[in-house]
Amino acid sequence: MPKAREIVPGSERKYGAQYKVIGKNYQTADLYAKVTGQAKYAEDFRADGMLFCKLLLSPLPHARVKHIDASEALKMPGVKAILTANDLPAPADSLTDLGTVIKANPRGERALTNEPLYQGEPVLAVAAVDEYTAAEAIEKINVEFEPLPFVLDPLDSLRPGGPNPRVEGNVWDQHQPPPAKPGERPASPPPAEVAELKWTSADFEGAKQGRLPMGKPTDDWSYGDIDQGFKNAELIVDESFVTPDTSHQTLETRSALAYWQNGKVYVHTGTQSTVQTVPALARWLHIDASNVVLVSEYTGGGFGSKVTAAITAIIPALLSKKTNAPVMMRITREEETFIGRGRPSLLGRLKVGFSKEGRITAVDMFVICNTGPYDAVGDAGAAARIVSLLYQPPAMRWRGATIMTNTPPRGPQSAPGGMQGIVMMEPIICKAARKLGLDQVAVRRVNCPEGKADFGPVQNGKRAHCTSSFMKDALDRGAEQFRWQERVASKPKRAGSKVRGLGVSLSCFFGGSTGYDGLFVIKSDGRIAIPSGIGNLGTESVIDCHRVVAEVLGVPWEKCDLTWGNTTQNLPWTCVSGGSQTTHAMTRAAHAAAMDAKQKLQEIAAKKLGGKPEHYEVAHERVFAKGGGAGMTLAQAAQHAVKLGGKYDGHEAPPDVNKYTKASVAALAGQGLVAVAKDKYPHDGTSMSFVASFAEVEVDVETGKYNIIDFLAYADVGTVIHPRALGGQVLGRSILGIGHAIGQKWVFDPEYGHMISRRFYQSKPPTILDVPPNMQWAALDIPDPETPVGARGIGEPPVGGGCASILNALSDAVGDDVFRRAPVNADTILTSLEAGRPMQDPLTAHI
Amino acid sequence: MSEADKQVSETAAKRVSRRAFIKGVITSGVAVSSTSYLFRASTLAGQRSSAGLGERLITLNVNGQQRRVDVVKQETLAWTLRYKLGLTGTKLGCDRAECGSCTVLIDDVPYYACSVLTHTVRDKKVLTIEGLASPHGKLHPVQQGVVDEQGFQCAYCMPGFVMAAVGFLKTNPNPTRAELAHGISGNLCRCQDYDKILTAFMRGAEYMRRSSRA
Amino acid sequence: MGILEWATSPWGQRVPIHIAWFLIWVSLIAGLLFLVVHAIYVRYFAKQKQYAATTSPELLSRLPEKISRHSLAARLFHWIMALAMLALLFTAFLPKVGVQFNWVTYHWIAGLVLTGSIIFHIIHASFFLDFWSIWPDKIDLQDSWKRTLRFFGRPAPLPRKSGKYPFDNKLYHGVIVLCGLAVMVTGIFMKFRVRTGILPRNPYLFGDMSWGLMYVMHGLAGVALIALVVVHIYFAVRPEKLPITYSMVFGSMKRDFYLEEHDPERWVVEPPPFPGSQKGGAHAD
Amino acid sequence: MAVIRDVMPAFQLLQPTSIADAQKILDQYGPDAWVLAGGLDSFDWLKDRIKKPNTVVDLSGVEELKGIRETGQGLEIGAMTTLTEIAQHPLIKAKYSLLAQSAELVASPQIRNQGTIGGNVSQDTRCWYYRAGWPCYRAGGNICYADTPVGRNREHAILHAERCVAVNPSDTAPALIALDAKFVIRNRKGERVVNAEDYFVGPEIDITRLTVLQPGDLLTAVRIPATWAGAQFYFEKVRDRNVWDFPLMNVASAMVLSGDTIQQVRVAVNGAAARPLRLKAVENAIRGKQRSIATAEMAGNLAVQGAVPLQFNAYKIPLMRNLVKRSITGVQEATWAS
């Protein structure tokens, strides 16, 4: 192969032809600090007199703390304090935006515990002058535990007489309050309780043939006539499948530094949401939100695991209060594995009917979700809704059981549930296409959503729909760019011991929320100060979204000054940077604020220069009479705004913005023209983003080892805001999905209930050599019709396709019937090829 | 605070630009800064042997400067850099030679600073991300490549990746994309932005070649 | 230095895992020490044995020249067991003192042999031999009290001669039964922990603590056996005991020795109906 | 009892600059001394606080232990020579490329820059139960947690398991065995030289160690005889991820052919047992035979005789069979008409 010396840029296509700023690459404001090592992540901060904190983790998967003897540790010089569960304040209730009180659940996760529910759960913490001392102190503490029954696998817990992960049972039981009468606030639901769910021996009959048993679910819904659907089917495929538990494994562990000053707690920690972490911290610490300051300038990865506050920020905060000194808690990689959240494994069984043409006639889906010992994650339900949207079955039944176990707590991870749903469905589509003699792209084209496609069950008389889907275009263009037909036609598939396989997968996930606030100030020097409340995870949405302001006002980007990462900086109420909602939500909010600024500029011009506001336009850093008459610079307008006061300089805030925004506006009042608005743009459907993923793999059938030799992701993500950031997300999240296909997993020892895959070489996040050196991405760049800029989020949608396209390519190479699980490693392939059938238990995730 | 400690903290304080210092104060409201944080003398940090402070006080050559620093025997270079010298650009991702975030150059060769005892680099030259750009702020070609291609997302892995790339390119200035990937394969990116990272470093390699020709 | 090795179980509990191996030396030294002390005692301090007269001349005349003591089966058992025991001790303890070889296989096979031979012996002794002959009886206790008193120069009647087995022999047997059964029973369970092809491997048959105690028991009994075996061999080669050793090889002892050491009322030797057959139990040690 | 990670316990650090000094220290401290080569295996133990040695002896300052020298009989590689140096050394690449290949596939670039050949062959096993600090046989306990009815043992042994089912993780070890290397060990009694395959011990001999090294012993050099210089070599490592991962299994072979006939051959496999296995039976069976697919297949089948799979590692049997097969005939490179 000749040496390719030229730089191969991901997939460079020109975007944003109609815009000045949007769709263009640019240098983000945080990049210089990052590349020179000056960027400060939580653990990089130091405070005078700072103490260090270490945790004592439970060695048992389920136990009761009977006695703690810390006397030896406390005698050590340098040991300042220990913190146990008895020192924790009771968690406070929380209040939603709608005014509904969410009662604190006494059974929920707390920072420390006297009844550890998984091995690795923090039991107590020690603060000392340095880590050496804290570590030795921990080793000197004796905790007497009373072992309690435990369970790792949801199926074991569901068996008749099976063990329960919690004393009271294995599932959450949420009693819903009666529906509110019109005009009244909905009543607060009571805290969820723990109940017991057991299936019968008869339910488990199927498990003997490797089929997922299907007993009583915890949730279900259906639409259409599935019996008729199956009756009309030419082919019915019924498969069981298991997906892995995977840690988020952000490269920055959730270390935190905390200290108190003048009654306020200052917390430095990495988070996916600068603004919304504040109320979360306040609730955990049971203090008023106005007494919380969060510093989170740079967050070293989140993927859903750092959505707001974590228990790791609470422990140093409480120890700091107790010791009256700043406390740093450096979380080790192993601790992060225990407390850093993970994606739940889903055990699934899908029965899918297909017509001759490959059109799905009905889907019957059953999933069991292993949610860990605390809050139930929504993966089981999300998996079904995504399947319903992505494959458009005319009839579908979903049954789900979200079961607690004594494994580390789960949280949403990029495309939570959606990824698993796609990964279970895609191999079935593959198999059906082969049985029906159809092309893999064609069969997906027949089933994929188009336009405002419906999905999910009927709720309040109608089904939800997506705002727009151009999945077919993404498939077509992707197939073209990937040279799908050409590759399919090229033979042979096998050379020596190597077999190549091609895979294509549909993928989608939620792509945005609405209703947040935009806020910025046009300063008297004409520069625009934008406080960004978005968490800085490196996806650059923290900055990218605000490019809309420059675009709308016609201000050069260089004149926009961004601040972020600190809640003393007067931030607007902002969405959590999770669930791919940010680009959608915050470009809308930025647009709303920019339109507010425009309106105010026009009003100021009219007031000063006469005429009506609508006679003025805003462009080129000026507001001026349409057609080129009198006008003024933005700087002058800002000075006028300050003189005018009221709503113009922030002395009055719109009534509909969040109270958090109002406080910020009040603090900014008088600094210039304060633009502030809530996103109230009409929005009927659910914003969803789509990706068509293509992969080629080469399998060595003698060793089972395989390599991904090519990959393309073609995205339907609405308007492209920042191509390089988008490309990074499309391929980055694709690789996150690929990781699920090629190796990432949790492994437990069933006897002791310990996770034994604690290190990277055991849990196997993908390396740079596990992906092809040239990956391709592209985006349709078709604006979303229901959002002003037309942009949607892309964090999650590529994940399912990343994983499923690899699995599909593998089954193309070595056959449909050799494995029924992810990840697929050399061992899976080799044992199954030897036996000619699936050889690894499709009902156990932890191997 | 011993005399030696004072010396160290003064050196470190000088290194922090006034601007960064002010920013630190403003952002946090108290004296939280990027200046070096010193371990207070702890009985445990001491050695069990008779080895006293005299042996613990060593001189390191970091980023071209001689730094006197008090280092316990079991201390890794990553800890010394981060906690004693205030060079927090070197990140700890796993502390186990499994992620590469702590990669620094020791005598021009990339090492995991988490897995090197500080006492073993006494007579070697250590280069960290902070010492890569010129003192006037001109970025190293590899850094410039990253800036121009918007390489990396969260960038927690970036300092280590950049140091690994610089080390590799010193001996392999003209790699293919696949060769470069192999050269920097000892670094993990959990945002999995590998494609863009490679593109950025390919550009950086081109800049390096250009600047060496110039 | 404790006599047990402890470890922390995966659940953080302190559990014993086995004995401290220095006990091998303790046991060996104890055995040798006993040997030396005993030899010195016998050589320099022991008094002439004196027994209350028991033998009637009438009986004497009826006794054969050779008194049959151990049946062939009993002797075979004894020597197989002895070999197994030695194999077990060497395979168990040589690697612990630095002689490394693949010991486990030999050890468990020898263990199997020992177990088999012990089970045979229990059945054999219970149903085919004079079961009670090896267990201390009332006379043994009375006589040992008499001997003790006399040893300290206190007035006491002369003790009687022993039955088939002298009292110390019976005591030794008792101790060896305890140790032997302990290593055997724990050893049988331990076969669940190694691959033998006989029992399904299941290290989780018991909890960490139970297993730990089992290994400790196996170890303690095992090292005790070192001393016991040393002592046993020592007695076997002592000149005054050689006739007994002879009987363990050839099955019988001379009449003179029998009359000298044994009380025909307590070890009734019936004259043989025909030569070579003899009722009367052998109870090997 | 508590699990504390990533804070090393205090130790005395001694940094000798000559073999003689190192020797003296090792004699003086005996089992209390922990020898640090590259340190990548050691730091795991120390940071996990599972091992808390009183004294750590850092060999990085001993120049005598570094470097690659050509001798009359072949090559001598100092034990502290880094894997990068070995992988890139022109002479090794030219004549003993088997070793260079195996070194190049170890872990990651930074680890190869730091890891040494001595450390690579002397590293401890990566059984996840043992490395988690569980009190298994290897840690002096009385149980193997991997070989139980529920043990997770996908990466464990299929051959020569004796209570413990851990495997040796070294990549360079089988290459050195195939090259008939000799390991030079020094202690107070002097110097002894052992064959590469005899350097490693299985659990039947010593369940707590993977090598013959006893306290006080120092591996100083690896000697490669010229016998196999320029022979036909084959090395392959199968692992899950292409960086960092230890081998699921690897194979190394050296062969001298005369025409198509295999004149001399050495084959070694690692990842199958607690020690790298030299496949003598295979060597004997194929010596003098035609190098053909049939011979290779026979070799593969012979290699796995007596293999006993655990619950999750049955794949290692076909893997070993195929790797050994390939080590005789090489792998057919795929040629694709694209």
A396-451 per-position pLDDT tens digit? 999 999 999 999 999 999 999 999 999 999 999 999 999 999 999 999 999 999 99
D73 & D187 share domain: yes
- Residue pointed to by tokens 């920019």: A594
From B185, B188, B202, residue closest to A765, measured CB to CB = B188
Instruction: Determine contact, residues A534/A577, Cβ cutoff 8 Å.
Output: yes
What percent of chain A lies above the pLDDT cut of 70?
98
Predicted pLDDT at A12:
59
Task: Kindly state whether residue C149 falls inside one of the protein's structural domains.
Answer: yes
**Nearest-CA residue of chain A relative to D332?**
A496
Interchain pair A257, B42: CB under 8 A: no
Predicted pLDDT at D312:
94
A2-21 per-position pLDDT tens digit? 333 344 444 557 898 899 99
Which residues are within 8 A (CB) of C129 and not within 5 positions of it... i.e. 6 or more apart?
C71, C74, C281, C282, C283
Query: Taking CB atoms and an 8 Å cutoff, what residues of chain B touch D13?
Result: 73-74, 117, 119
Nearest to B165 by CA among B94, B103, B72: B103
Task: Kindly state whether residue B13 falls inside one of the protein's structural domains.
Answer: yes
Nearest to C179 by CA among C239, C118, C102, C132: C118
Q: Which CATH superfamily hosts domain A43-148+256-329?
A: Aldehyde oxidase/xanthine dehydrogenase, a/b hammerhead (3.90.1170.50)
Residue B33 — pLDDT band, cuts 50, 70, 90?
A: very low
Interchain pair A132, B72: CB under 8 A: yes
Interchain pair D243, B109: CB under 8 A: no
3-state helix, strand, coil in chain B (%, to 5): 45, 15, 45
B152 & B186 share domain: yes
The whole domain housing D294 covers 63-123+166-329
Domain with B203 in it: what CATH number?
1.10.150.120
Measured in angstroms, the CA of B93 and the nearest CA of chain A are apart by 5
Interchain pair A59, C10: CB under 8 A: yes
Total number of residues shown for chain C:
285
Interchain pair B117, D44: CB under 8 A: no
Give the count of Cβ contacts less than 8 A between chain C and D: 64
Query: Taking CB atoms and an 8 Å cutoff, what residues of chain B touch D43?
Result: 76, 96-97, 115
B96 & B188 share domain: no
Measured in angstroms, the CA of D243 and the nearest CA of chain B are apart by 7
Tokens coding A147 = 């072992």
Q: Name the domain count of chain B.
A: 2
Q: For B3-34, b where at least 16 C-beta lie within 10 A, e where not — what string?
A: eebeebbebbeebbeeebeebbeebbbeebbb
- What is the CATH number assigned to the segment(s) A517-678? 3.30.365.10
B154 & B117 share domain: no
Tokens coding C14 = 């302190």
Cis peptide before A492 (omega within 30 of 0): yes
Total number of residues shown for chain A:
847
Residue B72 — pLDDT band, cuts 50, 70, 90?
A: very high
Q: Cα separation of A259 and A327, whole Å? A: 6
Interchain pair A60, C12: CB under 8 A: yes
B194 & B124 share domain: no
Does ipTM come in above 0.85?
yes
**Nearest-CA residue of chain A relative to B179?**
A773
Interchain pair A749, C10: CB under 8 A: yes
Q: Name the domain count of chain C.
A: 1
Domain with B106 in it: what CATH number?
3.10.20.30
Query: Taking CB atoms and an 8 Å cutoff, what residues of chain D touch A704?
Result: 238, 315, 319
Interchain pair D3, A826: CB under 8 A: no
Q: Cα separation of C146 and D202, whole Å? A: 59
Helix (H, G, I), strand (E, B) or coil at A542: helix
B151 & B206 share domain: yes
Neighbours of A139 (CB within 10 A): 18
Q: Cα separation of D129 and C203, whole Å? A: 14
Residue D16 predicted with pLDDT over 80: yes
Interchain pair B31, A47: CB under 8 A: yes
> C with A: 3 or more CB pairs under 8 Å?
yes
From D49, D319, D332, residue closest to A703, measured CB to CB = D319
Residue A466 predicted with pLDDT over 60: yes
Measured in angstroms, the CA of A709 and the nearest CA of chain B are apart by 12
Tokens coding A777 = 């991405």
The angle formed by the CA atoms of residues A717, A721 and A723, to the nearest 5 degrees, is: 85
Please list the residues that pair with A396 across neighbouring strands.
A223, A363
Query: Taking CB atoms and an 8 Å cutoff, what residues of chain D touch B113?
Result: none
Task: Kindly state whether residue C216 falls inside one of the protein's structural domains.
Answer: yes
B contact chains, 3+ CB pairs < 8 A: A, D
Domain with D83 in it: what CATH number?
3.30.465.10
Residue B57 predicted with pLDDT over 60: yes
What residues does each domain of chain A span? 43-148+256-329, 219-246+342-512+685-835, 517-678
Tokens coding A837 = 């059938």
Interchain pair B199, A7: CB under 8 A: yes
B153 & B193 share domain: yes
Q: Give yes or no on whether A219-246+342-512+685-835 and A517-678 have one common fold.
A: yes
What percent of chain A lies above the pLDDT cut of 90?
87
A316-363 per-position pLDDT tens digit? 999 999 999 999 999 999 999 999 999 999 999 999 999 999 999 999
Measured in angstroms, the CA of D193 and the nearest CA of chain B are apart by 30
Q: Name the domain count of chain D.
A: 2
D171 & D295 share domain: yes
Measured in angstroms, the CA of B123 and the nearest CA of chain A are apart by 24
Q: Cα separation of B207 and B185, whole Å? A: 21
A357-394 per-position pLDDT tens digit? 999 999 999 999 999 999 999 999 999 999 999 999 99
Task: Kindly state whether residue B136 falls inside one of the protein's structural domains.
Answer: no
Per-residue pLDDT of chain C (285 residues; tens, 9 = 90+): 589 999 999 999 999 999 999 999 999 999 999 999 999 998 888 777 777 766 666 666 677 778 888 889 889 999 999 999 999 999 999 999 989 899 999 999 999 999 999 999 999 988 887 788 888 888 888 888 888 888 788 888 888 877 788 888 889 999 999 999 999 999 999 999 888 888 888 899 999 999 999 999 999 999 999 999 999 999 999 988 888 888 888 888 888 778 777 777 777 776 655 444 444 433 434
Q: Cα separation of D1 and D3, whole Å? A: 6
Integer angstrom CA distances of residue C285 from A651, C118, C182, C282: 105, 11, 17, 9
- What is the CATH number assigned to the segment(s) A219-246+342-512+685-835? 3.30.365.10
D36 & D83 share domain: no
Tokens coding A495 = 């050379």
Name which of B109, B117, B163 to mutate to probe chain D: the one with the most chain D Cβ atoms within 10 A of its Cβ: B117
**Nearest-CA residue of chain A relative to C204?**
A751
Name which of C108, C195, C202, C209 to mutate to probe chain D: the one with the most chain D Cβ atoms within 10 A of its Cβ: C195
Predicted pLDDT at D265:
97
Q: Which of A2-11, A176-185, A765-774 has the highest mean pLDDT?
A: A765-774
Query: Taking CB atoms and an 8 Å cutoff, what residues of chain C touch D132?
Result: 10
Interchain pair D135, C102: CB under 8 A: no
Phi, psi of D332 (to 5 degrees): -75, 115
Is A754 an 8 Å CB contact of chain C?
yes
Is B176 an 8 Å CB contact of chain A?
yes
Instruction: Determine contact, residues D199/D209, Cβ cutoff 8 Å.
Output: no
B121 & B21 share domain: yes
Interchain pair C102, D162: CB under 8 A: yes
B100 & B149 share domain: no
Predicted pLDDT at C169:
86
Interchain pair D43, B184: CB under 8 A: no
Domain with C76 in it: what CATH number?
1.20.950.20
**Nearest-CA residue of chain A relative to D107?**
A761
Nearest to A702 by CA among A495, A426, A443: A495
Which residues are within 8 A (CB) of A277 and not within 5 positions of it... i.e. 6 or more apart?
A269, A271, A294, A296, A308, A309, A535
Query: Taking CB atoms and an 8 Å cutoff, what residues of chain D touch B112?
Result: 110-111, 114
Task: Kindly state whether residue B91 falls inside one of the protein's structural domains.
Answer: yes
Q: Cα separation of B123 and B58, whole Å? A: 10
Task: Kindly state whether residue C133 falls inside one of the protein's structural domains.
Answer: yes
The angle formed by the CA atoms of residues B115, B120 and B125, to the nearest 5 degrees, is: 95
Residues of chain A numbered 74-93 and touching chain B (CB < 8 Å) = 76-78
Task: Kindly state whether residue B46 falls inside one of the protein's structural domains.
Answer: no
Is D62 an 8 Å CB contact of chain A?
no
Name which of C11, C15, C206 to mutate to probe chain A: the one with the most chain A Cβ atoms within 10 A of its Cβ: C11
The whole domain housing B82 covers 3-38+51-131
